[in-house]
Chain A
Amino acid sequence: MKIVLLLALTAFYLPLRAQKVTVTGKLLSGKDQTPLAGVSIRASGGPGTVSLSDGSFALPASIGTTLHLSMEGYLPKDVKVGKASLGVILLDASQKSLDSVVVVGYGTQKKVNLTGAIATVNMDEKQGQPITNVSNALHGVPGLFVNLSNSQPGVDRSTIRIRGIGTLNNSDPLVLVDGIEYSMDELNPADIASISVLKDASAAIYGSRAANGVILVTTKKGSGAAKVNYSYYYGKQSTTFMPDAIWDPIAYMKLKNQAERNEGKTAVDYSDAQIAEYQNGMKTDPFTYPANNWFDIALNNGMIQKHDVSVAGSNDKSQYRFSLGYLDRNGVMIGPNNQEKKYSIGLNTSFTISKRLKVGLNLDGYYRQYTQPFYNSFWQYLTRTLPILTDTLKDGRYGNSWLRTPGRNNWENPRMIAYTGYSKKLVQRFLASTFLDYKLPFDIVYHAQFGADKYDGLLDEFTPQVQSFDPKTLVATNWNSPATAPRADETDYNNLSIHFYNTLNWTHGFGASHHVAVMLGSSYDNFGTSQFAGAMTGYLDATLTALDAGTIRYATSGNSTKDVLESYFGRLNYDYDGKYLLEATFRYDGSSRFALGHRWGFFPAVSAGWRIDREKFLGQSDLFQLLKLRASVGQLGNQAVPLYSYENAIVLGQNYDFGGVLQSGAAATSYSDPNISWETTTSYNVGIDAELLKSLTVTVDAYRKRTTGILRAVNIPSQIGGLAGPQENIGTMDNTGIELSARYQNHIGQVGYGVFGNLSFNQNKVVDIAGQILYNYNSSISTITKAGYPIDAFYLLHATGIFQSNDEVQHSATQSAATQAGYLKYEDVNKDGIINGDDRKIIRSSTVIPRYSYGFGLDLDYKGFTLTGVFQGVAGIKVYPTANMAFPFNNGANATREWLTDAWTPTQTNARLPIVTESTGNADNFQASDFWLRSGAYLRLKNVQLSYALPKRWLSLAKISKVSVFVNAENWVTFCKYRDFDPESLLNSNTLYTYPMLKTISGGVNVTF
């Protein structure tokens, strides 16, 4: 060991013999001739320095040696020292992916040297898009399934799945912001520089949280001369799809009556006399006899606008970026309770204190608030509206209906709901982190980072006493009980997570060709949550809403949780001449989520790359600029089970009243397995990166992820004490897939163009779950998880058609006593003459993640104009929408117009739909069957943007370096089969009443001083 060090030191001092001069020069950006500060200048084998804020530098070097110039974001340059003064040296910004640096776990790596499947997103490309949360902007990354199911301002965050679902538990990827675990959606998207997605074993360095993939978010830093940037956009938003409801009151009433008659009822909801009265009354009295289109009444155009301003720069001693952002939204729901405001602050600094010490401080913070009506089931109520429901009376009081309609005991007037009370969520969330880098002897660098993630939330709610009125009799109906309203509720959330990690890094070259890098580290993560809630009643009215203004204590509650993770990790990189690349990592994680003896897990990974283009046999051909073959294998874990799942908990609150005194009761409510431990995913990946013909970039990956010891709450029969099943390590599941992405860039004359596309294929298969079959009966959708099938496959009766006659009903298997002509006919799979649960069949189709996700697009630029269009789509997934509007007359709700025209009748026997009946009154037609299974596939023009950069010669007069203006349309065109709701929303939900998907048209400006 000592000998090696001695040799190394000797090698270091050898060049000192050459003759020295002081070399000076000035470094400017090749693009706009602005000074470049902070460029590293190093004489080969000699000392180094960095350029000052005016770009100048001076260092002792020998004539004839070579200076290596480098700075992040610019192409490195070698300059031969011919004389002492080198004059102006221009550095070009690095644009080609070959030179870019990619953020990886606990460090960075040149993209060309990557051996793992890591996708990157450059947020600059999304400039101008109305992105409210960054998770909504990750469409188009191969292997990533991005799904936004709820577009409500304030909570519109996408679900992200990397390479399918490898667990039956929490499938969210781990997200780190500048190295610290944090939510990517608690950052202003404008403060994000780039995002790395670790899809394969490259994530294994994050061990027990890595099985769902890891997303590394890097915030923007300053570089070069100080710049001030301001950007603004303004947009209008509206819904993409709403159900095609029957808004003609007479048609509605007649069809509803028909549905009831078809069920054999003789008493119908609306008598002929009532319908005749209605028809007459409509001519003169729209208050009592309305023909309301409630989607028109309750929805309006939403508004979105955003301001961003930042100041950034760097010099030889420091780097800084400060930013402020303001997002303002007004949703598509009427009323005051659908707004969002977000104020962001961003700070990214680092300071070189001495030759050895560098420190930095980052701060990312949001102060944000959003509102919704107190009764947040607005959308559910909206899908239950009927054309006969009065909006307001003449005097403005909320109306209901004089027509008694079963299921509508307490009319949910959407206007009343939209304006009733408020629910205001205020959040202050900050990620504060500091780091230090200290250069130890022997090229060892110590890095330590400490981060505190503080979440302060307050849910402030108030509900007044609300009534609606019968438009005819003016009799009031209380919407909420005077016993519980007016009422104020406040919930305080107080979460603090502490993260600390430190690493030792050593990089060294042996000879010209051998390069080694070693990193060792440890970390400690402590996640704490606590909340407290209080509610008061006894308010005189709705004018004073503070808790102190109430007189009766109504409720208090609170709880806190904590979990801890302790880890050790390391990485070894070796490359031979940039040609053969090898990486090995490990992580050893201890988690408080498991019982003693099951807490520690070891997660190793190894990967290799071969730069074929650097082999001599390919010669110096111009065909390949890059051709790299990669392969990786590694183990990743998932610890995302509910806390304390390993303990047989006795749950309080199983109380009972004895003689007017509530007595505390406690019982076990779920079964527990003390032996649960990590899920382990073994990930295999092979990939090719190629750049050819200087214009085409192609990346292909194929993977297989095998997850063993899958944790799942197992259902157990109720006879075992009615307990919920335990979390157990039950089985093995495979995800296999292929990802392909390509980009072609060229120009025709002055028109530059690029075409790009990506395709991901994912197939999920449960390999083994110890012979068990898992059923899921949630939300009336019947699914099954069984070896050999995809996870949560639909498990349904097979509808073979529609009964054409009662005779056919008589001669078929018994369905129910109600079955008659026009009803759905099911296949009697086991031929026992009865249609029941034993006749269900497994549908081999994905219910969770689309089998195919794809995207493609085009960009064009010509003299400052840029046009970018991106399409995005999914295929190979089925959805099962249920309840209001998906089925006709669900518990007093409306029906879609297709039931007027496309349903079976004795005279329209070749109908698409069965005979119209209420879905609640008639279980037979609405049993879980494949008849109601719909395609979830869609293709949409996700975003199209036209921007124009004003010519420089105009701007230079005003000392402005850059101005661009743009218009942007998002979600504007969608192609899909099921058109009663946005298909994207349905992939994650089985009802038509989440906050609907929005389309946006916006425009804005971006100015740099």
Chain B
Amino acid sequence: MKNTSIIIGVVCLGLLGGGCDKSLLNTSPKDQYVESNYWESPAAAQAGLSACYGVMTGSGLWGGDATPLFEEGASPNAYDYDNTMGFNLIAEGLQSASSSGIIPGRWKACYTGIGRCNTFLVKVDEVPMDGATKTRMKGEAYFLRALYYFTLENYYGAVPLILAPPDRATQTNVKRTNQADVVAKVLSDLDSAAAVLPLKYTGGDLGRATKGAALTLKAKLLLWEASPLFSGGNDAAKWQTAADAAQSVMNLGGTGYGLYSDYRGLFLPQNENNKEVIFDVQFIYPDMGNSFDLIDKQYNTNAPLLDIAQVYTMKNGLPITDPTSGYDPAHPYVNRDPRLYQTIVFPGDTFMTVPVTPSRFAITGFGLKKYSIYDKGAPPSGKSDLKAGQSETNYILLRYADVLLMYAEAKNEASGPDASVFSALNSVRSRAGLPDVSTALTQDSLRAVIRHERRVEFAGEGMYYNDIRRWKTAGQVLGQAIYKYDGSKIETRKFDAARDYWWPIPQVERDLNPALEQNSGY
């Protein structure tokens, strides 16, 4: 074909001839489709939807090397000494609009996902395909769009609410939409999704958004809305709405949701898609891997701090500060909350068959093992030294333990302790191997217990930063000195409560769209 056109070219131009077929100049790419003829088959629609999911695996959201693990470094749980993705600057209160890394990265990633969902939701209607499948797929796209908008408004507050496929003419100068309107749209998308999504998938559809995922995300959004940072006060009705939303997940039949019996195993690739997982970000090696193992085992850029190691209670449920707890400062890691051993590697521990010295994880003395395949024993053969992009452990975004603790928190805030609150909380604790909490706790003291439980249960997962933001406790807990395993100080962090609860709108976005107003203090 190519040669033919060359010959035609030579022949018809050879004698200064004009008027040759203009198709000489028609060429088309061989490795990409063109939008005008793309949305024509069910396979194209499937691929378009897969791309909506694929955004989650980028570094701006829950993939890259290990973005959610780095996010732990923005909280008092861990120290990201290398400032990977800019999380340590956030921990130190030094982030600015022109910071590189996560602040512009997350903004862009979310809008990339939103743009793809918006395109999909319009274009899929042109595709001739089975109606039921199409409806389900649209439900998935609604869920994903809600997820991306929720993420945006969680960090940046008000953001431009764009619901149509990408269009420069109409979208370039869109201002930040009132945060309440963004939230309302997220809720309506989640309702649209929940109405059509199935309870379960099997085989090669595992990992797609389910009805339970939509309801869980809704519960999370409502819990955020009820929380002090978002509600601005303490509105029992909002807490009750959040509690109801969490309960609707707990009451949802046919899902098989429950706590996975093995807390450590919950985060191992061989147990993926277990009954506790409501929605996760799926990875596969070699095509779409992350670097969780490299970060945990070698880079240690999510080094746990002394504070989190001390927060774990004793196995009997008593804090180590309690004189009756049995805590022995000479042997600090004996008889503690079993989750400590399933989450953190500490001096004196064994890691990959080798005794752990303080210099093994030299940054703080601690390493994280959660989300890594590496543990005390010998590593699986052929996987002894996984490097960048070679890990395939899924990152769990929504899990059933979260639903239980969200319920407990919201219900306690709405109407104080009751049996359902204790039941939810204790089921998480008993899976961990801890005794039930005292039923004598007041609303306030139970709040502290629930917050403690969230911190420990989700330690290392990058969730605590958002919890201390929404509780508005970051001002007290984040602007503190941080310490190594031996109590030596690393540095004192700063937190400006007037500024640092929200991330700045990235400078690059404000340059390109001057209609975006900046958050206060930046």
Query: Nearest chain-B residue to A728 (Cβ)?
Result: B168
Q: Which residues of B sit under 8 angstroms from A410, Cβ to Cβ?
A: 298
Q: Are B114 and A721 in touch, CB under 8 angstroms?
A: yes
Q: Are A667 and B208 in touch, CB under 8 angstroms?
A: no
A473: min CB distance to chain B, Å: 9
Q: Which residues of B sit under 8 angstroms from A717, Cβ to Cβ?
A: 171-172, 509, 512-513, 516
Q: Please tell me which stretch of A3-11, A97-105, A289-297, A772-780 contacts chain B, meaning at least 4 of its Cβ atoms lie within 8 angstroms of it.
A: A772-780
Q: Are A521 and B205 in touch, CB under 8 angstroms?
A: no
Q: Which residues of B sit under 8 angstroms from A703, Cβ to Cβ?
A: none
Q: Are A837 and B115 in touch, CB under 8 angstroms?
A: no
A657–B56 CA distance with the chains assembled, in angstroms = 11
Q: Are B116 and A721 in touch, CB under 8 angstroms?
A: yes
Q: Which residues of A sit under 8 angstroms from B171, Cβ to Cβ?
A: 717, 719-720
Q: Which residues of A sit under 8 angstroms from B283, Cβ to Cβ?
A: 657
Flag whether A170 is at the interface (Cβ < 8 A).
Answer: no
A924–B287 CA distance with the chains assembled, in angstroms = 38
A793: min CB distance to chain B, Å: 14
Q: Are B160 and A719 in touch, CB under 8 angstroms?
A: yes
Could you give, for residues 87-99 of chain B, a 1 whenever the CB lies within 8 Å of some chain A CB and a 0 otherwise?
0010011101111
A780–B162 CA distance with the chains assembled, in angstroms = 29
Partner of A662, one of B98, B201, B287: B287
Query: Nearest chain-B residue to A599 (Cβ)?
Result: B25
Q: Which residues of B sit under 8 angstroms from A726, Cβ to Cβ?
A: 168
Flag whether B367 is at the interface (Cβ < 8 A).
Answer: no
Q: Are B115 and A722 in touch, CB under 8 angstroms?
A: yes
Q: Are B299 and A409 in touch, CB under 8 angstroms?
A: yes
A817–B500 CA distance with the chains assembled, in angstroms = 11
Within 8 A of A (CB), among B165-218: 165-168, 171-172, 174, 201-208
Q: Are B207 and A817 in touch, CB under 8 angstroms?
A: no
Flag whether B417 is at the interface (Cβ < 8 A).
Answer: no
Given contacts A655-B288, A658-B206, A659-B203, contact A563 B111 (CB under 8 A): no
Given contacts A409-B298, A658-B206, A666-B44, contact A718 B38 (CB under 8 A): no
Q: Please tell me which stretch of A119-127, A497-505, A602-610 contacts chain B, meaning at least 4 of its Cβ atoms lie within 8 angstroms of it.
A: A497-505
B163: min CB distance to chain A, Å: 12
Query: Nearest chain-A residue to B496 (Cβ)?
Result: A817
B336: min CB distance to chain A, Å: 25
Flag whether B342 is at the interface (Cβ < 8 A).
Answer: no
Interface residues on B, range: 35 or more
Flag whether A286 is at the interface (Cβ < 8 A).
Answer: no
A493: min CB distance to chain B, Å: 16
A723–B28 CA distance with the chains assembled, in angstroms = 22
A946: min CB distance to chain B, Å: 51
Flag whether B387 is at the interface (Cβ < 8 A).
Answer: yes
A663–B42 CA distance with the chains assembled, in angstroms = 13
A643–B494 CA distance with the chains assembled, in angstroms = 50
Partner of B522, one of A559, A649, A834, A928: A834
Q: Are A561 and B390 in touch, CB under 8 angstroms?
A: no
Q: Are A528 and B118 in touch, CB under 8 angstroms?
A: no
Q: Which residues of B sit under 8 angstroms from A923, Cβ to Cβ?
A: 89, 94, 96, 99
Flag whether A12 is at the interface (Cβ < 8 A).
Answer: no
Flag whether A492 is at the interface (Cβ < 8 A).
Answer: no
Query: Nearest chain-B residue to A662 (Cβ)?
Result: B287
B270: min CB distance to chain A, Å: 11
Q: Are A716 and B390 in touch, CB under 8 angstroms?
A: no
Flag whether B32 is at the interface (Cβ < 8 A).
Answer: yes
Flag whether A752 is at the interface (Cβ < 8 A).
Answer: no
Q: Are B94 and A649 in touch, CB under 8 angstroms?
A: no
Q: Which residues of A sit under 8 angstroms from B233, Cβ to Cβ?
A: none
A782: min CB distance to chain B, Å: 8
Partner of B385, one of A409, A481, A668: A481
A826: min CB distance to chain B, Å: 12
Partner of A502, one of B16, B56, B93: B16
Given contacts A500-B10, A650-B32, A837-B507, contact A663 B83 (CB under 8 A): no
Q: Are A649 and B2 in touch, CB under 8 angstroms?
A: no
Q: Are A668 and B119 in touch, CB under 8 angstroms?
A: yes
Flag whether A747 is at the interface (Cβ < 8 A).
Answer: no
Q: Are B387 and A267 in touch, CB under 8 angstroms?
A: no
Flag whether B30 is at the interface (Cβ < 8 A).
Answer: yes
Given contacts A665-B50, A927-B98, contact A266 B16 (CB under 8 A): no
Query: Nearest chain-B residue to A666 (Cβ)?
Result: B47
A568–B12 CA distance with the chains assembled, in angstroms = 12
B388: min CB distance to chain A, Å: 8
Flag whether A520 is at the interface (Cβ < 8 A).
Answer: yes
Partner of B13, one of A524, A654, A656: A524
A820: min CB distance to chain B, Å: 12
Within 8 A of B (CB), among A914-947: 920-921, 923-924, 927-928
Flag whether B130 is at the interface (Cβ < 8 A).
Answer: no
Q: Are B2 and A528 in touch, CB under 8 angstroms?
A: yes
B12: min CB distance to chain A, Å: 8
Query: Nearest chain-B residue to A928 (Cβ)?
Result: B98
Flag whether A830 is at the interface (Cβ < 8 A).
Answer: no
Within 8 A of A (CB), among B360-410: 362-363, 382-387, 390
Q: Are A722 and B26 in touch, CB under 8 angstroms?
A: no
Q: Are B94 and A658 in touch, CB under 8 angstroms?
A: no
Q: Which residues of B sit under 8 angstroms from A500, Cβ to Cβ?
A: 9-10, 13-14
Within 8 A of B (CB), among A820-879: 834, 836-837
A484: min CB distance to chain B, Å: 7
Q: Which residues of A sit under 8 angstroms from B235, Cβ to Cβ?
A: none
B78: min CB distance to chain A, Å: 14
Flag whether B438 is at the interface (Cβ < 8 A).
Answer: no
Q: Are A652 and B32 in touch, CB under 8 angstroms?
A: yes
Q: Which residues of B sit under 8 angstroms from A921, Cβ to Cβ?
A: 83
Flag whether A671 is at the interface (Cβ < 8 A).
Answer: yes
Given contacts A267-B484, A720-B167, contact A563 B27 (CB under 8 A): yes
Partner of B174, one of A528, A668, A719: A719
Q: Which residues of B sit under 8 angstroms from A719, Cβ to Cβ?
A: 111, 159-160, 162, 171, 174, 509, 513
Flag whether B322 is at the interface (Cβ < 8 A).
Answer: no
Q: Are B9 and A524 in touch, CB under 8 angstroms?
A: yes
Query: Nearest chain-A residue to B504 (Cβ)?
Result: A836
Q: Are A654 and B203 in touch, CB under 8 angstroms?
A: no
Q: Are B98 and A836 in touch, CB under 8 angstroms?
A: yes
Within 8 A of A (CB), among B15-49: 15-18, 20, 22, 24-36, 38, 44, 46-49
A451–B202 CA distance with the chains assembled, in angstroms = 59
Given contacts A650-B32, A671-B168, contact A504 B82 (CB under 8 A): no
Q: Are B25 and A564 in touch, CB under 8 angstroms?
A: yes
Q: Are B16 and A716 in touch, CB under 8 angstroms?
A: no
Given contacts A265-B491, A652-B31, A816-B94, contact A666 B13 (CB under 8 A): no
Q: Which residues of A sit under 8 angstroms from B386, Cβ to Cβ?
A: 481, 483
Q: Which residues of B sit under 8 angstroms from A924, Cβ to Cβ?
A: 94
Flag whether B284 is at the interface (Cβ < 8 A).
Answer: yes
Flag whether A591 is at the interface (Cβ < 8 A).
Answer: yes
Flag whether B136 is at the interface (Cβ < 8 A).
Answer: no
Q: Which residues of B sit under 8 angstroms from A568, Cβ to Cβ?
A: 16, 18
Partner of A649, one of B32, B44, B97, B202: B32
Q: Are A836 and B25 in touch, CB under 8 angstroms?
A: no
B101: min CB distance to chain A, Å: 10
Given contacts A666-B33, A836-B98, A924-B94, contact A658 B14 (CB under 8 A): no
Partner of B51, one of A404, A659, A667, A837: A667
A719–B272 CA distance with the chains assembled, in angstroms = 33
Question: Which positions in A face B, CB cutoff 8 Å?
Answer: 263-267, 404, 406-407, 409-410, 448, 450, 478, 480-484, 498, 500, 502, 504, 520-524, 526, 528, 554-555, 559-564, 566, 568, 590-592, 596, 599, 643-644, 647-652, 654-668, 671, 715-723, 726, 773, 775, 777, 780, 816-818, 834, 836-837, 891, 920-921, 923-924, 927-928
Task: List 15 additional A-B contacts (Cβ < 8 Å) besides A521-B16, A654-B50, A665-B50.
Answer: A264-B492, A267-B488, A498-B9, A523-B13, A590-B24, A654-B55, A658-B206, A663-B47, A719-B160, A720-B167, A720-B168, A720-B172, A721-B119, A722-B110, A722-B115
The 3 closest A-B pairs by CB, nearest first: A721-B115, A722-B112, A659-B206
